Structures are given as structure tokens and as C-alpha cells.
Amino acid sequence: MVVMILEHVTPAARGEVTRWLLEPRAGVFIGTVSAMVREKRWAFLVKKHPTCAMTMFYSAKTEQEFAIRTRGDTTRKVRDFDGLALVTRREQQLTQK
């Protein structure tokens, strides 16, 4: 299973991803694809849309049974806490409230 969250992307980029994954909410994509398709979609977005911010969760043989990959200036930050991946809001967002 793969979950991708895209921020700051064009409608064309979202349209490309919807060929492989469902978009239940704007910028959030989910589906089951092979590792090769997952890596090719990631590489395509990196190459064709260098300014987009992406977070991808995918099945992996880890303690949590998934892995996380990020790129760009996302609104959330992935932090390692004793081997577990945790997602936190950016500090600047916390100070603004």
C-alpha cells in the first residue's frame, strides 16, 4: 500500500498520479502498486515538478511495517524517536498559534 501527500503541485502533476492512485482528498493519494511503479512515480515527480513538496508512506519490513519518504518543504516533519518514525507539525506553525 502507498499513501502520497503532495503539496504545492500543479493540477497536471496531480493528474499524473491519479493514473496509478486514488485521490480521496485534494493532494492525498492512496493505492496498491508495485515497488517499481512507486519508485518511478516518485522519480517522475522529482524530475518534472522540482518545487513540489511530497510525503510518501509505503509498506516495508520495519518495526512499524511502513516507511516514510519526504521531499521539499512539507507542512509536517518526520522525526526519528528511538527507531520509530513520528510526524510532527513544523515549529513555526506551533509558534504562530
Question: Rounded to an integer, what distance in angstroms lies between the CA atom of residue 61 and that of residue 91?
Answer: 30
pLDDT tens-digit profile of 23-72? 999 999 999 999 999 999 999 999 988 888 999 999 999 888 999 999 98
Contact 3, 23 (CB under 8 A): no
Could you tell me which of 75, 73, 3, 51 has the C-alpha nearest to residue 17?
3
Domain 2-71 adopts which CATH fold?
Alpha-Beta Plaits (3.30.70)
pLDDT exceeds cutoff 80 at 86: yes
Confidence tier at 96 by pLDDT (50, 70, 90): low
What pLDDT was estimated at residue 3? 96
